[in-house]
């Protein structure tokens, strides 16, 4: 093989990574936060390269790799959010309500994942259901409960003054 030339298999894998990495990263960051989510994504994609033939037979590779990433996070020591997170967010992302991050952290893992993917990343509920391997109605329930809790925690009222 010539130096600097990639094998066809590697080119196929790199195209696969270019396709799935953005969604996989969004899902893992939505569930585990930016640091652990990124590490889980790297671990899942490393696993994908090592088990490429096996992964080719999987119908929904992003969902499968999401579970690989979930397994990878079990070895991580949970890290607290930076103390100055609200200050950092208000400076770098002034359009984001400072109360949002602490409120999101109080949701269940499933509710937070669904809310962030649907409202933060514009995923369709059916895509989230496939990723999490749950029914669309379960995703709808997580979404409704998560949004309801965020509104209550952040004291958001509708135009009629109701929570």
Local confidence pLDDT in tens for the 163 residues of the chain: 455 667 888 899 999 999 999 999 999 988 888 888 999 999 999 999 999 989 988 999 999 999 999 998 887 666 555 545 555 555 666 677 778 888 888 888 899 999 999 998 899 999 999 999 999 999 999 999 999 999 898 887 665 555 5
Query: Are the beta carbons of 135 and 129 closer than 8 angstroms?
Result: yes
CA angle 151, 101, 67 (to 5 degrees): 100
What are the structure tokens assigned to 148, written together? 């309801």
Predicted local confidence at residue 1, as pLDDT: 43
User: Taking the domains of the chain in order of start, what are their residue ranges?
Assistant: 1-79, 80-163
What are the structure tokens assigned to 132, written together? 């999490």
Predicted local confidence at residue 94, as pLDDT: 66
CATH of domain 80-163: 1.10.10.10
pTM exceeds cut of 0.95: no
Predicted local confidence at residue 33, as pLDDT: 83
State the DSSP H helix or E strand holding residue 142, giving kind and residue range, or none if neither. helix 136-153
How far CA 141 is from CA of 111, 144, 148, in Å, comes to 9, 5, 10
For residue 24, give every residue at least 6 positions away whose Cβ sits within 8 Å of its Cβ, in sequence order, or none. Answer: 41, 44, 45, 62, 65, 66, 69
For residue 151, give every residue at least 6 positions away whose Cβ sits within 8 Å of its Cβ, in sequence order, or none. Answer: 157, 163
> What one-character DSSP code corresponds to residue 155?
T
Is 79 in a helix, a strand, or coil?
coil
End-to-end CA distance of the chain: 66
CA gap 49, 119 in Å, rounded:
31
Predicted local confidence at residue 32, as pLDDT: 86
């Amino acid at each position: 093989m010539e130096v600097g030339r990639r094998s066809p298999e590697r080119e196929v894998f790199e195209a696969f990574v270019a396709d799935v990495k953005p969604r996989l990263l969004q899902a893992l960051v939505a569930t585990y936060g930016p640091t652990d989510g990124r590490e889980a994504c790297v671990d899942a994609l490393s696993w994908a390269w090592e088990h490429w033939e096996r992964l080719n037979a999987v119908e929904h590779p992003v969902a499968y790799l999401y579970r690989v990433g979930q397994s990878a996070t079990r070895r991580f020591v949970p890290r607290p959010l930076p103390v100055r997170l609200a200050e950092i967010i208000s400076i770098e992302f002034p359009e984001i309500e400072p109360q949002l991050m602490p409120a999101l952290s109080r949701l269940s893992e499933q509710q937070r994942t669904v809310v962030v993917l649907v409202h933060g990343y514009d995923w369709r509920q059916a895509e989230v259901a496939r990723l999490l391997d749950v029914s669309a109605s379960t995703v709808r329930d997580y979404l409704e409960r998560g949004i309801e809790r965020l509104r209550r925690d952040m004291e958001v009222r509708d135009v009629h003054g109701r929570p």
